[in-house]
Amino acid sequence: MFLNDRGARLTRFGIRLILNKYVTKAASQQPSLKRKRLHPHSIRHSTALHLLRSGVDLSTIAHWLGHVSVNTTNKYLCLDLEAKREAMAKAKPLLKGGHHSGKWRRDPDLMAWLTAL
């Protein structure tokens, strides 16, 4: 589907060259990119995470990525920090009120910290 400049199949090495070319170019505008280690597999991970966030089910993503098992694809969900942040925000952690009060209360500072993660 994707061809290199000689008309042959584009390999992962060719993709790496293209990715490095554009990351280097973008780094002139965004210097923090110079410290990033991007590789062709980063594109797979990013695409899988975007699909998950868009509501595409794991089995469809697994098939699209060529994974034999949905368990392999499930690792993408484990890597999704945004999903973790949302889950933590929904949990609304409770802390013990006082030293001996026995009451539970919501800690606004902890909630703000968790939301900022």
Residues 94-110: tens digit of each pLDDT: 555 555 555 555 566 66
- The mean pLDDT value for 56-64 works out to 88
Residues 86, 102 within the same domain: yes
CA 101 to chain centroid, in Å, comes to 41
Residues 54, 70 within the same domain: yes
| In the chain, % of residues over pLDDT 70 | 70
Residue 79, pLDDT > 70, answer no
CA 79 to chain centroid, in Å, comes to 6
Residues 74, 89 within the same domain: no
Domain extent, residue 73, equals 39-79
Residues 54, 23 within the same domain: no
pLDDT higher for 76 or 3?
A: 3
Contact 58, 70 (CB under 8 A): yes
Residues 75, 99 within the same domain: no
Q: What is the 3-state secondary structure (H, E, C) of 27-77?
A: HCCCHHHHHCCCCHHHHHHHHHHHHHHCCCCHHHHHHHHCCCCHHHHHHHH
Domains identified in the chain, total number: 3
Burial class (CB in 10 A: 0-12, 13-18, 19+), 114: middle
In whole angstroms, how far apart are CA 112 and each of 37, 39, 43, 88, 115? 30, 34, 32, 11, 5
Residues 1, 34 within the same domain: yes
DSSP 3-state of 17: helix
Express each pLDDT in 14-54 by its tens digit.
988 988 899 899 999 988 888 888 888 888 888 888 888 88
Residue 67 confidence (pLDDT): 86
Phi, psi of 86 (to 5 degrees): -65, -40
Residues 106, 84 within the same domain: yes
